[in-house]
Amino acid sequence: MKRVDIITIIIEEQKVVIDSLKQTVERYKIASDLDEESTHDPEDFSQQTQAKDMQLRYENTLKEANQSLAFLENELKEKHDKIEKGTLVETDQNYLFVGISVPPFQFEKKDVIAFSDHAPVFQNIKGKSKGDKVEVGAKSVQIIDFS
pLDDT tens track for 101-116? 999 999 999 999 999 9
pLDDT for res 92 = 96
Q: Is the pTM of this model over 0.95?
A: no
Residues of the chain with pLDDT under 50: 37
Query: In sequence order, what E strands does the chain have?
Result: 88-91, 94-98, 102-107, 110-115, 133-136, 139-146
Question: Strand, helix or coil at 74?
Answer: helix
Q: What is the helix (H) or strand (E) element at residue 93, kind and residue range?
A: none
Residue 3 C-beta-side C-alpha neighbours within 13 Å:
17
With a CB cutoff of 8 Å and minimum separation 6, the contacts of 125 are 83, 89, 96, 98, 134, 136, 143
Determine the pLDDT at residue 40: 58
